[in-house]
Amino acid sequence: MKEFKDKLKEELRQDAPFTNDIKQRILQKKPIKRKFNWQVVTVSIAACFIIGLMLFVEFSQKNNLQTASQQNELLPIVDDVSSLDIIQPKYAHLLGKQWMLHFLPMIIDKEAPITYGDYIAFYGTDGLVVSTVLGLGNDHVTMKQGQILVEDTPLKVHGLNEQIKKEEINDPFKNPYFFHNYGTRPAPFNDKSISAKEKEMVVYDSDEGHTIMKISEGQLVGKVVGFQNFELTFELSEQEQQVFDAFKADYNIEQLKNMTPQAITKMFLLSDIEKDYETYEALFTTNKNEETESVRRYYEKTKIVRQELFTKEINRLIIANLFAGLEHAEFEQQTDTTGVVKFISLEGPTELGMEKNAQGIWQPAFSRGVY
């Protein structure tokens, strides 16, 4: 048989009634079939899948970080909360532009999805706490001199994208953690790295300095989605408003001579709400003693923060909460030149210091706390 095939090939190479194309096809050797190695293919497919999954996770994480950094940080202030879940946390570690509302009742959504920068309520060792989410399940989170890194990517929510320089620790506009010091010496940064498991989150903690901590899904109560609104319960009478308007025209303190200490206190707080600092300062006591100077120093220290960070809406909300009940206030004179405006606030019995000046006019000698 082999000899026959060789002879046929030899004849085909010679002149024969076939075209060259047909000859080449007849003479061409059949390709050798290769065995398929399924192990190699399986490993290759698995490797491609793993690499693709890693790229997807990394892309998703970076996309989530970017989305979180672009989200609106301001939570709504809600009027009707009758059908909502309201909490009163023992403390709230807020780092956004509404940090000053940390003591107010908050609205939570127990089913809302949670991402970086959100405020969440959870059960801590001492009770209900609200804090800022800095890491999600399976994240490796690092705090380094105030900067938060998720894996190796800086988290940009609430101004946390850069390390805080030592010379900027006392600057409320450059240190997002500043307001958790409450006027005391700056708390240190306790640098730490945490690897969260699947059902864990990393949050900001200021128990002993600025640091991060891990919480479990079992501790979670819900996502904070807003603040409860409070309406002002006090107002000026028509006559008091006329006197107040006249006073603002020239700041002649004599125009307040017939006003009660309660009415002057209301004027003082309404000026604060409206960020009318010229009127606010004109109403403040002109008496100088150890107590009034201490209040005056505090006001001067916090003045720029009041002007730059507090909005009229936030001022109204805070004062409506702190001074609810002022409409029922009474005045108690304690000495020839001192007295207190007394009322029952949401926190209980409250007293606001007043001082009588040389013209016999009562003036506020207090300032609401800012931080």
Residues 196 and 148 in one domain: yes
Calculate the alpha carbon distances from 353 to 31, 93, 204, 262, 347 in Å.
103, 30, 37, 11, 17
Rounded to 5°, angle at Cα 123 from 122 and 128: 85
Which burial class, exposed, middle or buried, applies to 100 when counting CB atoms under 10 A from its CB (0-12, 13-18, 19+)?
buried
State the CB neighbour count (10 A cutoff) for residue 85. Answer: 14
Residues 204 and 304 in one domain: no
pLDDT at 62: 53
Q: Return left, alpha or beta for 182; rule: phi > 0 is left, psi -120 to 50 is alpha, else beta.
A: left
Using only the alpha carbons of the chain, give its radius of gyration: 36
CA distance 62 to 64: 5
**Percent of the chain at pLDDT exceeding 90:** 69
CATH of the domain at 155: 2.10.109.10
Whose tokens are 């309660």? That residue is 262
pLDDT at 51: 52
* Position 5 in a domain: no
Which residues make beta-bridge pairs with 345? 348
pLDDT at 18: 43
pTM value is 0.79
The per-residue pLDDT for range 159-196, each reduced to its tens digit, is 898 999 988 988 889 999 988 765 556 678 999 999 99
Question: Last residue of a domain, which of 191, 210, 228?
Answer: 228
Residues 85 and 138 in one domain: yes
Residues 185 and 280 in one domain: no
* Position 2 in a domain: no
* Contact yes or no for 130/114 (Cβ under 8 A): no
pLDDT at 149: 96
pLDDT at 169: 87
* Position 256 in a domain: yes
* Contact yes or no for 98/74 (Cβ under 8 A): yes
Q: Give me the domain span that covers residue 123.
A: 77-228
pLDDT at 26: 41
pLDDT at 45: 54
Calculate the alpha carbon distances from 141 to 137, 148, 153, 211, 347 in Å.
10, 7, 9, 11, 38
pLDDT at 55: 44
Residues 154 and 265 in one domain: no
Question: In 3D, which of 348, 347, 327, 345 has the Cα closest to residue 260?
Answer: 327
pLDDT at 23: 44
Residues 243 and 355 in one domain: yes
Task: Write out the H or E segment, with its range, that includes residue 278.
Answer: helix 277-283
CA distance 357 to 366: 15
Residues 201 and 103 in one domain: yes
Q: Output the average pLDDT for the chain.
A: 85
Low-confidence ranges of the chain (pLDDT < 50): 4, 8, 12, 15-19, 21-23, 25-32, 36, 40-41, 53-60
* Position 192 in a domain: yes
Question: Last residue of a domain, which of 228, 258, 291?
Answer: 228
Residues 314 and 279 in one domain: yes
User: Per the structure, how many domains does the chain have?
Assistant: 2
